[in-house]
Homo-oligomer: A and B are copies of this chain.
């Protein structure tokens, strides 16, 4: 009998795995703190001391464009309430294939290779379930999106092997770092999960950098999962290049993940996309899809939206313009507050360097500083530890998750309390 079997939680027995979930919540603490404060949001007049969220990767800058589009075309057909393919309706997957060709990959995509599931996290969870068995390893360069850990470790029981980049090199990834991580791993490595544009760095990778990464994965004959969730959220000089565009076909080991969450500011609609030419993997994911299907009504609305090319072009251009504008305003606020940060060209993030405000540069000091900023400045950032960075002292700041005035006010507050701290 495994440890824990038959033990009681609040008076009734759960399974061992249920008990583990109940007592070890997979969500990081910064997210719980966010939802505990979100009702008390900052307002310039009504609530100037209110909470400023800078930790959740959402884009609140474009609702005026998106809202009317979601409300339009509500002559919903009966098929939206009927059972259909759990991996997405045929018409939605056709629209997605055309959309992905036009806006990301630049060459035709077979709609049969496209699968829609309830969120990008679900796509990753189900894709990696089919790629690797419990205990096996998946390579993830860091700093990283914090959610990969629950996505891969909780239900799939995989082990993430971090490949740490360093602040010295501006967190640039090299294939040597990937080789070192594989060499240090105590379990077989089955895949590389690569994020571009990067979360939390906000960088895009050049054609040559991507070529190195893809060739590396090909040579080692491991799967390469391209997480390109911020493909259209690019506002800097450097253009986004999809890793999928570097080969005439993905082949059986390269898989593309995208979602509506980030590039269409619609994380609540729970719609993530997988593109894979590997028939076995698609069949296996199809076998799981029933437990994470996208609402038929939501598929219909999103299909109408992405099939309107002119609207998508206009929305994307305006979204990029607003992200760039917010990025520059927030850069100015960070500079005024003397908070160093990594420059970005895409995504929703600044990776801020808080080492100048720390007496000792340790993980404990980082955690303490994060909590102190939360309580004294009422702002919530993502601790670098949750991004699994290889060295302490950094935090992720999400800049379009509130209107820019709120983020600037939050940074001003941070500047004030940090100045005190530096003096003390």
Contact = CB atoms under 8 A, between A and B. Distances in A.
A366 interface: no
Contact of A18 (B63, B267, B284): B284
A182 interface: no
Contacts of A5: 133
Given A71-B74, A295-B294, A295-B298, A63 B85 contact: no
A268 B10 CA distance: 36
A132 interface: yes
Contacts of A122: 290-292
Interface in A152-211: 154-155, 190
A56 B83 contact: yes
Contact of A12 (B76, B133, B278): B278
Interface string A122-140: 1001000111110010000
A96 to B, nearest CB: 16
Interface string A296-340: 111001000000000000000000000000000000000000000
Interface stretch (A20-28, A212-220, A228-236, A405-413): A20-28
Contacts of A270: 118, 293-296
A290 B78 contact: no
A278 B10 contact: yes
B133 A287 contact: no
B281 A80 contact: no
Q: Which of A67, A266, A293 has the most CB of B within 10 A?
A: A293
Given A14-B280, A22-B280, A295-B294, A81 B66 contact: yes
A81 B76 contact: no
Taken together, the copies of this chain in the complex come to 2
B268 A129 contact: no
A284 B14 contact: yes
A336 to B, nearest CB: 29
Contact of A253 (B12, B17, B118, B288): B12
A17 B8 CA distance: 31
A390 interface: no
Contacts of A136: 15
Contact of A71 (B23, B75, B119): B75
Contacts of A130: 14-15, 17-18, 21-22
Contact of A119 (B26, B82, B293): B293
Nearest to A128: B15
A287 B82 contact: no
A193 B294 CA distance: 26
A293 B18 contact: no
Contacts of A35: 85
B10 A288 contact: no
Interface of A: 2, 5, 9-12, 14-19, 21-23, 25-27, 35, 56, 58, 60, 63, 66-67, 70-71, 74-76, 78-85, 118-119, 121-122, 125, 129-133, 136, 150-151, 154-155, 190, 252-253, 265-271, 278-281, 283-284, 286-288, 290-298, 301
| Those 5 A-B pairs whose CB atoms lie nearest each other, nearest first | A18-B130, A268-B296, A12-B252, A9-B280, A21-B284
